Amino acid sequence: MIKNFLPYGRQSINENDIQAVSNVLREEIITRGKHVEAFEAAFAEECKAKYAVAFNSGTAALQASYFAANTGANDKVITTPNTFFSTAGSALAWGARIVFVDIDRNTGNISLDALEPTINQPNSRGKDIIVPVHFSGIAVDMEKIDRMIRRTDTIVIEDAAHAIGSKYSDGSPVGSCQWSHMTIFSFHPVKTITTSEGGAVTTNDPNLYHLLKRFRNNGIERDPKYLEQNFGPWHYEIYAATGNYNFTDLQGALGLSQLQRLDTFVTKRRQLVQRYRKLLKGAEHIRLFTDAHDENTAFHLFVVQIDFAAIKKDRSQVMEQLLKRKIGTQLHYIPIYRHPELRQRVGEIENYFPEAEAYYASALSLPLYYEMDLDDVDYVVKNLKEVTTKS
């Protein structure tokens, strides 16, 4: 069925997943119960973090992180333009200023050389909130960022929506928060594991953990330790107007089942990437990310950078021609400062980001998901080469 059309990404659901969710549907409690807790415990363990809090999306996980970080109007959120809008957009509710840093075209990640001069400004009234994104699964060198930070009030939030299962260069898992306060994940269906919609934050800090949970459920506080008054077991108090971002037991059961296959998913995605690399080696007008991090990377995306001017076709034509051959592609991402919601706040700043712009002019994500075969990669590359070399 899926062989007919190759989307750029999709989930893999097996009978165990279906059974796990069906079982919960027969239970008394179907949300906020033991399956959520079991998933959180397993996820924290997988990431080697002390705590994990699950949310109903990666975006909610980001919002909760900005809340827990006590983001305020004087704070600067310092991040990459090559990401999904919510990486920065989630901080706008607290009035934070968004500061962009150019990218490194070899990885699609924030450029650490460009990051250094933008942080640590001593006379700034607010704090720095540094938000690197592990784009396509390639981990940013967090230890290096940690060494750059001079101000003690700086907060670091890793956006690891793409990087479940990836490792840093020392072999420790992304999400372990050795060099950050919090790490966020997304379990949207195109990601490496899915809970349909869903997300999580990992942290090692008990105070942040407490605030993340408070954010998730309408700012509700029940723990007697934090209550102003306590009239009885029914008593609770609200400490922030947040919203309902709860993760259900159905999602917890699916997540737990998917987590068991994480290594299998990661291995297969890496094999597919190796095949792409082999077949695209030396291809004219097509540039790939560095392979230096492949052994540590759980690939969410496989991005090529095509010199569209040289092939005399634009991205839309290439996408349309591939679609006719049943190959789905996507652009990750339009630099987020170009979206009207941010442009009206930061202005037309694209000229300051030559690398992000050059990347944007050339990027295309090719199909990559667990249920693809190596043959499918061969088919994609054969067609990509045809489309990019013939008129």
Ligand X SMILES: Cc1ncc(COP(=O)(O)O)c(C=O)c1O
Binding site for ligand X (CB under 6 A): 57-59, 83-84, 86-87, 133, 159, 161-162, 186, 188, 199
CB closer to ligand X, 132 vs 173: 132
The nearer residue to ligand X, 155 or 161, going by C-beta atoms, is: 161
Torsion of CA 42, 44, 50, 54, to 10 degrees: -100
Q: How far is the CB of 43 from ligand X (least distance, A)?
A: 14
Q: Which segments of 95-176 does DSSP mark as H helices, in order?
A: 112-115, 142-148
Closest distance of CB 187 from ligand X, Å: 7
- State the amino acid at position 346 in one-letter form: V
Name the residue nearer to ligand X (CB basis): 58 or 367: 58
The CB-of-80 to ligand X minimum distance in angstroms stands at: 9
283/314 Cα distance (integer angstroms): 18
Neighbouring CB atoms inside 10 A of 149's CB total: 17
CA distances from 216 to 33, 187, 199, 275 (A): 14, 16, 11, 41
User: Smaller CB distance to ligand X: residue 88 or 304?
Assistant: 88
Whether the link from the prior residue into 66 is cis, omega within 30° of 0, is no
Q: Considering the complex, what minimum distance in angstroms separates the CB of residue 265 from ligand X?
A: 17
User: Which position's Cβ is nearest ligand X?
Assistant: 58
Q: How far is the CB of 156 from ligand X (least distance, A)?
A: 15
Rounded CA gap, 33 and 249, in Å? 6
SS3 track for 72-114: CCCCEEEECCCCCCHHHHCCHHHCCEEEECCEECCCCEECHHH
* Least spacing, CB of residue 331 vs ligand X, in Å: 13
Strand 363-366 versus strand 302-306 pairing type: antiparallel
Rounded least distance, CB 391 to ligand X, Å: 34
Closer residue to ligand X (CB): 58 or 252: 58
Q: Nearer to ligand X by C-beta: 313 or 332?
A: 332
Which residue in the block uniquely carries the two structure tokens 């109007």?
Answer: 73
Distant-in-sequence, close-in-space partners of 161: CB < 8 Å, separation ≥ 6: 58, 84, 133, 184, 185, 186, 188, 191, 199, 300
**Identity of the residue, 199 or 367, whose beta carbon is nearer to ligand X in the bound complex:** 199
